[in-house]
């Protein structure tokens, strides 16, 4: 049992490292505002087209930034859920046979 717990902790650490290396993004207005993050939901960069920035008001910019960030975070959630499901499946895969006899 303790070995399984240690294995789970190790796999979780490995998954975190993999998620750190996966880039996700969200953009609005045809890419005029883009947010890049990793799959652990750490924002890496925000880019705003200079011409677009000059023509937009503060409130609209704020709303669009929130939308772009939320899109990136949604992608991060999807990637993270897939990664965790794969780990869970690999760890619990053999349990299905325990109850078949």
Which domains, ranges and CATH numbers included, belong to the chain?
A: 21-90 (3.30.1310.10)
Count helices and strands (H / E) in the chain.
Answer: 3, 3
pLDDT in tens, 12-39: 888 899 999 999 999 999 999 999 999 9
Q: Has residue 94 got a pLDDT over 70?
A: no
pLDDT in tens, 58-71: 999 999 999 999 99
More confident residue, 47 or 13: 47
Q: Are 41 and 81 in contact (CB under 8 A)?
A: no
Q: Which residue has the tokens 């990637």?
A: 79
């Amino acid at each position: 049992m303790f070995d399984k717990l240690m294995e789970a902790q190790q796999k979780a650490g490995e998954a975190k490292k993999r998620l750190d290396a996966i880039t996700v993004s969200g953009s609005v207005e045809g890419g005029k505002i883009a947010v890049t993050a990793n799959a652990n939901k750490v924002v890496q960069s925000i880019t705003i087209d200079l011409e677009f920035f000059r023509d937009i008001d503060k409130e609209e910019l704020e709303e669009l930034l929130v939308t772009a960030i939320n899109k990136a975070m949604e992608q991060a959630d999807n990637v993270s859920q897939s990664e965790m499901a794969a780990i869970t499946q690999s760890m619990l895969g053999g349990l299905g046979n325990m109850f078949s006899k």
